Structure 1
Amino acid sequence: MADKSLNKTELVAQVAAASGQTQSAVNEVLDALFATLAESVGNDVKVTIPGWLAVERTSRAARAGRNPQTGEAIQIAAGHSVKISAGSKLKAAAK
């Protein structure tokens, strides 16, 4: 894993500096992006940014499990999750 991380505030500051926009404008754009991603995934719409990433909703079937504390068998309900796939440009940047 990487020893360094970049939080949202730092990301906003770097994008604002690189684009010449204000931090508040960049923050509004990121908030709108995240809201659009959440709404799209919630409506089962796949979002693809070619070369960079794809975000989609996945389904998980119901399954049997065990309570780790008691060992009792339990039924885990079906549910949904999110799958994020890296595109070719993002994969190349990681090399």
Structure 2
Amino acid sequence: MATKPMTKAALVAALAEKTDMDKKSAGAALDAVVAIITEEVSGGGAVTLPGVGKIYCRERPERMVRNPATGEQMKKDADKVVKMTIAKALKDSVNG
């Protein structure tokens, strides 16, 4: 059975404990990292988090999709999606 994901408050507390910072500073540091990643990826760039993975934006072309409720085919415009490739080190730590 899966456990609940770590909340932001729990992540800030763990970060504060690991770095000997107070929770307010750790929260500000986490918010700054998230803002930097968001800015870079939304601008078309990519961010590599060593040991975690690479976050990047990918463009999807225009395509035909099917409405599952009615079965009707319709055209979906081109859009962008955020993707993440997981680092081998993280995969290996999870699997063994």
Judge same fold: TM > 0.5, yes or no. Answer: yes
Per-residue deviation, residues 13-41 of structure 1 (Å, max 9, x unmatched): 11111211011111111111111111111
Between the aligned partners of 1:92 and 1:64, the Cα distance in structure 2 is: 37
> Structure 2: which 5+ residue stretches go unaligned?
none
What does residue 87 of structure 2 align with? 87
What does residue 76 of structure 1 align with? 76
How far residue 52 of structure 1 moved from its aligned partner, in angstroms, is 2.3
Equivalent residue pairs, number: 95
Between the aligned partners of 1:89 and 1:24, the Cα distance in structure 2 is: 30
What does residue 45 of structure 1 align with? 45
Report matched runs for 1:15-30 at 5 Å. Answer: 15-30=15-30
> Structure 1: which 5+ residue stretches go unaligned?
none
- State the superposition RMSD in angstroms: 1.6
Between the aligned partners of 1:53 and 1:73, the Cα distance in structure 2 is: 36
How far residue 11 of structure 1 moved from its aligned partner, in angstroms, is 0.8
